[in-house]
Amino acid sequence: MVLFKALVLGALAATAAAKSAVIDLLPSNFNDIVYESGKPTLVEFFAPWCGHCKTLAPVYEELALAFQSHKDKVQIAKVDADAERELGKRFKVQGFPTLKWFDGSTNDPEEYTGGRDIESLTDFIIEKTGVKPKKAQKPPSQVVELHDANFDKEVGGDKHVFVAFTAPWCGHCKTLAPIWEAVAEDFAQDGDILIAKVDAEAKHSKALATAQRVTSYPTIKYFPKGSTEAEIYKEGRTEQAFLDFINDKAGTHRVVGGGLDAVAGTISALDAIVTKFTGGATLSEAAEEAKKEAAAVTDAAQQKHAQYYVRVFDKLNSSEGWATKELARLEGILAKGGIGPSKRDELTSKTNILRKFVKETVERVREEL
């Protein structure tokens, strides 16, 4: 039970972040990475809901990429201090984002009070370590640029298309840009979601902007799969607001950072069968009903999830505690990190399904936590 609790705690605390050059710190690895490694480390203490943190995020990622080739000499890391309150309290973090410098030889960090632009942060690290970064390597953009020649090819086909019409001089567009990039990264694993942009004042896009009746910037439009009729987006311009909108329209389950929510992979009809089983129905009856229901699933994306329900029932037939043990194992892998986005999605979906089988146990653990 203690091991299971630890694994559940780790999984609840860890964020399923998209691939990043910034090291994610948890109570379980903080001392090893920051103190025991002997490497100077810049640590950002942030909160997911913090606006200033969201503004800093792409700059901090760029900083980490710039120094990635010198990771044996300096580290760029972050702590979700809203989730890991123990670490925030330990280092007397009172606001977000807070940046602290750990020199690798002493236990007392220095609070960083300089500018939060890439130049200031880079100069600070050079001053502290003498290490000069290579030219920053920005990650490839997941935002697709649309224009007169390719718009009709992308819109109205087999993808949900979310388009931002922008202008180079527009201040609000510049504010939107890093958020838009983050949204595109969040949906990078969803092949039927296209996050795009149009430079409405470029020569090769002016006709398109006129045809779409774009008169102000940024104008954001959503084109459902198979439709050329747009819905103008009028909600908030935060990453979370965009994700909520797309998840609702396209039936996806993304969360900030590119992970999946707690519902991804689950199927309501099969959940109902699991509820019957946990409520007293015999295993053989539930398993047989699950096989029939899984066979009726026609959606290709859901078929593999449906078959996993069947597999769990089969495993329970030979080992009564299999679901609980498997859930703990998979949550442990997710908490440890270091896995690719596709594998992360697969394991997250499986853990969501497994929780349906061991819900009472997990809820009890959470209460104890």
Beta bridge partners of 98: 45
Active-site residue identified among 83, 126, 170, 339: 170
Q: Quick one: tokens of 7? A: 């694994």
Q: At how many degrees (to 10) do helices 341-357 and 359-368 cross?
A: 100
113 is catalytic: no
Active-site residue identified among 33, 42, 53, 334: 53
CB 232 within 8 A of CB 165: no
168 is catalytic: no
What is the CB-side half-sphere exposure of residue 93 using CA atoms within 13 A? Answer: 27
134 is catalytic: no
117 is catalytic: no
Q: Quick one: tokens of 124? A: 């600070």
Q: What values do phi and psi take at 362, rounded to 5?
A: -65, -45
Q: How far apart are CA 328 and CA 48, in angstroms?
A: 26
Active-site residue identified among 50, 118, 126, 310: 50
Active-site residue identified among 173, 196, 246, 358: 173
Query: Catalytic amino acids?
Result: 50, 53, 170, 173
